[in-house]
Structure 1
Amino acid sequence: MKNLKYLLSYCLMLFSFSTNAQTLNLIKNDADALISSTNQKKVLAFKEHHIRGSYPVSIAFYKTTHIVFESPIKYFDAGSNRIICDRVEGVDNVLKLKAAQIGIFETNVTVITHDGKYYSFLVSYNESPNKLNITMAAGLNDDFEQQVSDRPEKIVFSDTYYTETEMIHFSKKMIELSNTSKHKIQHIADKIGKVQFKLIQLATKEGKIILCISMKNSSPLDYGLEYMKFYVRDKTKRKKEVSQEIELKPNFVYVEQEGIPDGRKLGDADASFNFVFMMPKFSIGKDKHFEIDIVERDGSRNMNLKVDYETFYYQMNKL
């Protein structure tokens, strides 16, 4: 009986070993088949013309790099938070790049513009970049070996899609229109001493508001202009009532200096200037004013121009 027990145990051991060996062989065969299948797998064949190169761009921490595109930017993405990448405020076709930290790194930036063009940039840190203002010129090949252009390029302003040349053309047209007494606004002005600011023209162009303001400094003292700010404000303010105001920011500013020799600057004594501002579309109610605050730098000759409801709507021309 004892011998029979040993015999049965031996047979079970042989059967178990045989079964494990078969299992191992199956696993090995499956692995060999998988390796063979992987080695035979087809790989996509990318040809040279399928690959889009990246333009090399260096950026700094203490300097800002600007890239000008032919068309407004529709999409952009930075590959790392080590860089600051954003559109320039008020301008749709200029991208600004800046290092968010000091140190050697490399990343990428992708840009797609409204005209359907795709741009790729290989961005690296360099505190002394050889290019700070880059123009993606027309006809530039999408090859990383090509160099970007330094020539001036058009600027496209937000919500207008006008180029800088077109904006200057509109501005000059506004000034010409203001020189015609028939269309000139006469009654909206403010004056301190011999310095006067006057709203001389209001116009609209495809929904945008364009205004022309003249400045005449007949005094012997220069007028340093700190800023002009634009608001829609309540016409009247009662006691214990909170006044509401909305600040408006121009999309474009043009300054024409009349008879100013080279070397002189804005606000100099015995000089006249014309300002043209293109504003985003807005309107005012009968209980509102459109107001312009004018502040002197290091001085107190601060002025205010109030445009009433009637002037805003009934003396506005169409360009």
Structure 2
Amino acid sequence: MPETDVKSGAEQQYLLEKIQHKKLPKRKIFQRIILITIGAMLVGVGLEIFLVPNNVVDGGITGISIMLSYLTGWKLGIFIFLLNSPFVFIGYKQIGKTFAFSTLYGIFVLSISTALLHPVPAFTQDILLAAVFGGIILGMGVGIVIRAGGSLDGTEILAILFNNKLPFSVGEIIMFFNLFILGSAGFVFSWDRAMYSLIAYFVASKTIDTTITGLDESKSVWIISENASQIGEAIMNRLGRGVTYMVGEGAYSGEDKKVIFCVINRLEEAKLKEIVSDFDDNAFLAVADIAEVRGGRFKKKYIH
């Protein structure tokens, strides 16, 4: 009987199980719940203890909610929950149920946190201090929630949808939305409050990046050199980092090239450049930031 491309029922079931989303273990689910709870509560503190009492707004749906709460007198948490709910449904359709449920839970905790913290007086009446420290606390909270696999604002989901129809990146669309929202604060509050809101937004965005990537930021390194073997040995012996050798071909010369790939942290970048320069001043060197590193042998092996 000739071979066919038709797989047996057992093979098809195996492939289906491999493709389908695996159920998260209970420990992972519990860990995610704890992190999202902590992150959402931190965002609540940043809003109700620092930003909102001083009429400083954040970007995204949260910024719109702050202004609507100010204009109507309704609780901030009501607007945060109601305005984000449609985007949670869109996220369920576009991204997946795990993300949607994580986001819905985070928004719910944030809404409750703002309601409970609303009677608490502001820590400071200095608007600049409120903008800076409110942005830091808010950014830490948002970063923790994102690392846990959720979100607290529907702007990102909306930007992903518009990205398919507009010639702009997701980041550019989010920036446009937020500039429009922060600019609107000038009409609702005052223009000095709008400028303080820009400060808070900038501080929060930088804190989010730091929280997501971590302080021990990793970098990928690509090195092409005639002395690749010596450079690789020196990296392993002097930095304690593992390296991987790959073979490439020069498009212009057609010659085979030995390529070094390794991962370091930002504190080791200067030392690595020194090592490469010691063996080959003309070596090609490319360094890029990495948001996360897992598996392999990235953990540093200290050389005594």
Which band: TM-score by shorter chain?
Answer: under 0.3
TM-score relative to the length of structure 1: 0.23
Q: Name which structure has the greater RCO, CA cutoff 8 Å, separation 6+.
A: 2
Please tell me whether Structure 1 or Structure 2 has the larger radius of gyration of its CA atoms: 1
Q: Which structure shows the higher helix fraction?
A: 2
TM-score relative to the length of structure 2: 0.24
